[in-house]
Structure 1
Amino acid sequence: MSAIHSALGSGEPNDAFGLQRFFRVTAAETGGTLAIFEEMVPEGAGPPLHIHHTETEVFTVLDGALRFHADGKDITGKPGDIIVIPPGTRHAFKGIAPGTSRVLIQLTPGEGANFFVDIATEDLHPPDDMDRITQIAARYGVEFVGPPLD
C-alpha cells in the first residue's frame, strides 16, 4: 500500500439510506485494512441498533452533535470528540444538533464500508427491503438488533 491523500471535500459519494456520505479512503485502496468515510447526519437521523462482529468503528465528530448508545451507555459526541466502538458492541447513534451533523467514520478492517455501496447499488430502503438489507449486512458481519434511537 502506498501513501493515500484524501483532500477535504473529496471522496466517492454515496446516499444509502438517504444519508449523504463520501468515501474518503476505501478498503480497495488499503488492501482491506481500513475504510474512512464522512457522513452527514440530519437531526433525528441514525441507524438502528446494530453490531459489527468483525470491525472496530471509530467516529470523529466534525460538526454538530451526535448521541451514541453503546452497550447500555449513552455518550454525547461534540466536535473533536472520538468514540471507539469495538467489535461485538451493540450500538447506534443519531444526530442531535439542529440541522446536520458531520462525522468521520473509520472501519477497521474496511470491507464493511462496501455494505453502503451494495445498498445504494440495489436502491434498497427500509422498511420495505429489510429482508434483503439484512442479507447484505450479514455478508459484512453486521447484525441489526434493535430500533434506531428515540
Structure 2
Amino acid sequence: MSSEISPVHVPSDGGEAVHLVGDTYTTLLRSEQTNGEFSMLEAIVPANAGPPPHAHHNESETFVLLEGRLVINAGDQEYEAGPGDVVYIPKGVRHSFRNLSQDEPARMYFMYTPAGVEGLFTEIGTPGERGAVGPPLNDADVAAMAAAADKYGYSLG
C-alpha cells in the first residue's frame, strides 16, 4: 500500500451496492482508499433478517446503528442496539445480528480494521441498489460465503 492517500467523498447515493445473505451492503470506503487502515460499509437489514453466525480472523468489526433495532450476538454477549448505538467486535469473536422489526428494515454503518475483507461483498454478492431491500437469505449465498471463507479469513457457524 502507498502511504500517499487522498481525501475521499462518498455522496449519499454513492458506493457499490450488492445483495448478499438477505441484506444490501454498500461499500463506502475500500482498503485502497484508506491505505489499508479500515474499510466502511452500509448495511440495510430487512425485517427479522441478518447474516448467519461468523467470525473474522484478521479484522475487528465496529457497528454503528443508524435506524431500526438489531440484536447483536457477540461471543457470549447479546446486545439490543438502537439508533446511535455502537458495538465493537474484536477479531476472532463469533457474531451475528438480526433486525428485531417485523416490518421495517434497519440501517447501519460498519467498519473493518484493518481493511481487506470488504472485497468479499463485491466478489460474491449480486448487484444491488444502495438503500434498497434485497431478496431474502438463500442457500446459494451461504454456500458462496463458505467457499470464500479461506480467501477472506473468516469462518461460518
TM-score by length of 2: 0.82
Q: Supply the distance in 2 between the matched residues of 1:64 and 1:9 (Cα, whole angstroms).
A: 20
Match in the other structure for 1:71: 75
Match in the other structure for 1:81: 85
Stretches of structure 1 that go unaligned for 5 or more consecutive residues are: 146-150
| Pairing of 1:1-150 with structure 2 (within 5 A) | 1-97=5-101, 98-120=103-125, 126-128=138-140, 130-145=142-157
AA aligned to 2:153 is G
Identity %: 30
Stretches of structure 2 that go unaligned for 5 or more consecutive residues are: 127-136
Tell whether the 8 Å contact from 2:22 to 2:49 is kept in structure 1 after alignment: no
Count of matched residue pairs? 143
- Runs of 4+ with >3 A deviation: 128-132
Once superposed, what is the RMSD of the aligned Cα atoms?
Answer: 1.9
Tell whether the 8 Å contact from 2:63 to 2:86 is kept in structure 1 after alignment: yes
Q: Supply the distance in 2 between the matched residues of 1:129 and 1:14 (Cα, whole angstroms).
A: 12
Distance change (3 Å), C-alpha of 1:132 and 1:24: closer
Task: Tell which deviates more after alignment, 112-121 or 60-69.
Answer: 112-121
TM-score by length of 1: 0.86
Q: Supply the distance in 2 between the matched residues of 1:66 and 1:27 (Cα, whole angstroms).
A: 27
